[in-house]
Amino acid sequence: MIINIVKSVASVVGLMVTRIPKTDYKDYLYKSLYSNDSLANRRFYNVGAGPFKHKFWTNIDYINDWYADNTNNTLEGINYDLFSLEPIPIETDSAELVYTSHTIEHVNNAAVQNLFNESFRILKPGGRLRVVTQDIKLSYRAYKENDRHFFFWIDWFSKPENYKRVNLRQPLSQESIAQIFLEDFAAQASEIPLHGAKHRISDSELKRLFEEKSFEEVLDYCTSLCDIEVQKKYTGNHINWFTVEKLNSMLKVAGFKNIYRSAYGQSYSPVMRDLHFFDETLPGVSLYVEAQK
């Protein structure tokens, strides 16, 4: 949850990779690679697009109070609730590219799997899906080594106007690293937010869980405590975790066979290497995976 709020304020505090102005659409590149029909009908889709705006891309997002500032952008695109598990209203085999950045950690596995299934369906043969999300292994390493500097948003959410705005119980600087780690992938299970699960996981319980269960089992248990209805109200929360192995498995289920790990700015799609528009959110904590239909 917290890191997603950072996304909203990052341009103010300098936490995002920013490049301005964002007016270079590289028209020549799009026109050299794609048909006039794809450009005119904006057959490039950004899921969870938020403030993203690009003349060749269509935003897919969901209108809600938490992200009210993005409402107009979403109205110009496709208003779609990932939790609905409905088909995305796009023709089969029509999309050139699908991109999603720091979105899938806000929904449960069923919603993520449906998104991947739908991405495979709507993409043209040869089309690509690029997924950017938080790398739980990086966060876990920081937790185990007591590296509080990794969670760079601590200072921002130690200011009263910021931590109170997102319904936290106290300044983040007063929280243990165990709770900060837990809040970052299973917010409702943490003791930090005033809203959340009936059962909150203490520092000692989290330590014991990792001693008794596998890494993945612990993460799944923590996220299982997160309620979807609460998430729909506090949509900025994180209620999921991802590793490259988990993404590979889910993408294979969706039908993708050509799946590969990527990195910041290293898409196999020339247009998605444009850092004016892509991969600009929190590269230091991110995991990048692509899949081709």
Give the span between the Cα atoms of 129 and 103, in whole angstroms: 14
Give the span between the Cα atoms of 56 and 75, in whole angstroms: 16
Region 181-187: mean pLDDT is 97
Give the span between the Cα atoms of 177 and 26, in whole angstroms: 43
Q: What are 143's two structure tokens?
A: 């937790």
Give the span between the Cα atoms of 256 and 120, in whole angstroms: 7
- Mention every residue, 6+ apart, whose C-beta is less than 8 A from residue 147: 141, 177
DSSP 168: B
Give the span between the Cα atoms of 49 and 206, in whole angstroms: 33
Give the span between the Cα atoms of 267 and 261, in whole angstroms: 10
Which is nearest to 187 in space by CA: 74, 49, 66, 270?
Answer: 66
85 band by pLDDT with thresholds 50, 70 and 90: very high
pLDDT attached to residue 141: 98
DSSP characters over 126-157: EEEEEEEEE-HHHHHHHHHTT-GGGSGGGTGG
Of all residues in the chain, the percent with pLDDT exceeding 70 is 92
Give me the chain's average pLDDT, please: 93
pLDDT attached to residue 2: 55
Query: 54-91 burial, b for 16+ CB within 10 Å, e for fewer?
Result: bebbbbbbbebebbeebeebbeebbebebbeeeebebe
> What pLDDT digit, counting tens, does each position of 192-222 carry?
999 989 999 999 999 999 999 999 999 999 9
Q: Which structural domains are found in the chain, ordered by start? A: 16-134+241-292 (3.40.50.150), 136-233 (no CATH)
Q: Rg of the chain over CA atoms, in angstroms?
A: 19
pLDDT attached to residue 23: 57
DSSP 3: H
14 band by pLDDT with thresholds 50, 70 and 90: very low
Q: How far lies 24's CA from each of 38, 234, 254, in Å?
A: 19, 34, 34
pLDDT attached to residue 22: 54
228 Rama sector, left if φ>0, alpha if ψ -120 to 50, beta otherwise: alpha
Whether pLDDT at 11 is above 70: no
Give the span between the Cα atoms of 141 and 196, in whole angstroms: 25
pLDDT attached to residue 15: 43
> What pLDDT digit, counting tens, does each position of 33-75 carry?
999 999 999 999 999 999 999 999 999 999 998 888 999 999 9
> What pLDDT digit, counting tens, does each position of 88-115 carry?
999 999 999 999 999 999 999 999 999 9
1 band by pLDDT with thresholds 50, 70 and 90: low
pLDDT attached to residue 66: 86
- State whether residue 47 is helix, strand or coil: strand
User: Edge to edge, what strands does the sheet with 286-292 contain?
Assistant: 78-79, 57-61, 44-47, 95-101, 123-134, 286-292, 258-261
Give the span between the Cα atoms of 72 and 70, in whole angstroms: 6
